[in-house]
Structure 1
């Protein structure tokens, strides 16, 4: 059964009527196909109109939708011979980040990314995609392996942020994130990152210091979650129960369209009508096409050229329009 977001209530009502008519057509042998066809046209237009004018806060809800494809779905549909590698060789395993070598459309690659899980048990198992230090240190290990064997690195980012628990802080969370970010930026192999859902804080940046940063049309990417930003800026309002998160989302300009304009990302991957959660297969295929195109552009660059291109890309952010 499809899960609808708050702003999708008119869509839910219309599609509910369509489902009722389909059951009537089957159960009572009444031909209502013309009415179903008419309502389907209305529903498609309503979905199109709704998603054409989403606010940044609504995009945040779409980016967090439980039915959006996650790391395991991307790997299953796009990669062959995926061999998951575990552990950071220092403390332990972290299932919030998964990765390993694989074959992608005829190429050997290293793929890694956040896994949120799809139900209560798997979300707890993967800690909702919030990595601990060992997750970032595992990522460093995999990227070093990729560099050794000249494998392009593909990272799929989908996290509300790094795990802020006491144990993670005791084991050096900040240092692990900083070192992972440094490794991304200094890698001698091509790095392509895709923000597939939430790109939250340093937990996302640690896997997104890439030559090319791509982003799904309805994904979000920000230094802090809208809720976290609102709690800092509007403490009094939050204590009174006022929801300032939508205001924070607007102020931070967290949408793919904003970030392309600011040159934080390089490309937007269009989503199926109504978001990736409505048609995961198409969304996954589009991601694969975009990644393949960018690997082709980068694969003939030398390690020094890759590092230089990456450095220039990130130093340019925030300097747009300056003399």
Structure 2
């Protein structure tokens, strides 16, 4: 059963009516196809109007939608012969960070991404996409592997942030994230990052210090969550909507600031309504970005990557 957000109540009521009519049509001799078609057109129009005027806070809710495709969904549809690689060779394995080798449209590639999970059991196992130091050190290990064998790196960013627990801090969370960013910037191979849902804080940028950063239309990418920002600035959560607006965390804000290179449009009503179509669109965008980057010489690639981050926000 589909989960609806607060602002989708009129949409939920109309979808329920359509489902009810379809059930009546299938269990009786009544022909109500025309009425169903009319309501479906009305639903599509309502979805279009609603999603074309989402506020930043509503975009944050969509980005966190439990039914949006996650990293493993993208890997399952886009990456052939995927072989997961585990462990950081220092402490242990972190299920929040997925990584391995596979083929993307015939090209060997190293893939990394945070996995939030889609059920209660998998969310707990993957720690809701919040990686610990061993997860970021695993990412470093796999990026160095990619560099050694001259394999492009592809990352999927989807995390509320790095895990903030005492055990993670004791094992060097900040240092692990900083080293991860450093490893991204030092790569001699192309790197493409895609923000597919929630890109939160340093936990996100650890996988997004890339040559090309792409973002889905209703994804968000920010230094802090709206809730965290509101609690720090106003000491209360009532200003979360204001915080979301001030953070400039929406895809088109980020495009204007130069934080991302491309916004990938989602299916009508968000990626959670058409996950396969959304994943295929992401695949096409990744392929275009990789073709551009693979045409560059190694020294140019690294120089342009560093320059990219030095000029962020200059056009604002």
**Within 5 A, what are the aligned runs for 1:165-184?**
165-184=165-184
Q: Which whole-Å CA distance do the structure 1 matches of 2:88 and 2:129 have between them? A: 17
* SS of corresponding position for 1:81: strand
Return the match for 1:256 from 228, 232, 251: 251
Q: Which whole-Å CA distance do the structure 2 matches of 1:295 and 1:181 have between them? A: 20
* SS of corresponding position for 1:157: strand
Q: Which whole-Å CA distance do the structure 1 matches of 2:314 and 2:285 have between them? A: 27
1:59 aligns with 2:59: yes
**Within 5 A, what are the aligned runs for 1:13-24?**
13-24=13-24
Conserved? CA contact 2:267–2:278, under 8 Å: yes
Q: Report how many residues are paired.
A: 316
- How far did residue 301 of structure 1 move? 1.8
The Cα offsets for residues 218-265 of structure 1, whole Å up to 9 and x where unpaired, read as 000000000000000111xx2xxx521111000111000000000010
* SS of corresponding position for 1:151: coil
Give the structure 2 partner of residue 294 of structure 1. Answer: 289
Q: Which whole-Å CA distance do the structure 1 matches of 2:95 and 2:296 have between them? A: 33
Give the structure 2 partner of residue 129 of structure 1. Answer: 129
1:116 aligns with 2:116: yes
Q: Which whole-Å CA distance do the structure 2 matches of 1:6 and 1:160 have between them? A: 20
1:312 aligns with 2:307: yes
Conserved? CA contact 2:132–2:173, under 8 Å: yes
- How far did residue 292 of structure 1 move? 0.4
Conserved? CA contact 2:155–2:207, under 8 Å: yes
- How far did residue 72 of structure 1 move? 0.9
Q: Which whole-Å CA distance do the structure 2 matches of 1:24 and 1:69 have between them? A: 31
Conserved? CA contact 2:117–2:123, under 8 Å: yes
**Within 5 A, what are the aligned runs for 1:1-323?**
1-235=1-235, 238=236, 243-320=238-315
- How far did residue 36 of structure 1 move? 0.7
- RMSD value, Cα: 0.8
- How far did residue 107 of structure 1 move? 0.3
Conserved? CA contact 2:93–2:135, under 8 Å: yes
- How far did residue 320 of structure 1 move? 2.3
* SS of corresponding position for 1:3: coil
**Runs of 4 or more consecutive aligned structure 1 residues displaced over 6 Å after TM superposition:** none
Which stretches in structure 1 are left out of the alignment for 5+ residues?
none
Which stretches in structure 2 are left out of the alignment for 5+ residues?
none
Conserved? CA contact 2:256–2:315, under 8 Å: no
Conserved? CA contact 2:257–2:314, under 8 Å: no
- How far did residue 300 of structure 1 move? 2.4
Q: Which whole-Å CA distance do the structure 1 matches of 2:80 and 2:156 have between them? A: 16
The Cα offsets for residues 69-106 of structure 1, whole Å up to 9 and x where unpaired, read as 11111111111111100000000000111111100001
* SS of corresponding position for 2:157: strand
Q: Which whole-Å CA distance do the structure 2 matches of 1:161 and 1:92 have between them? A: 20
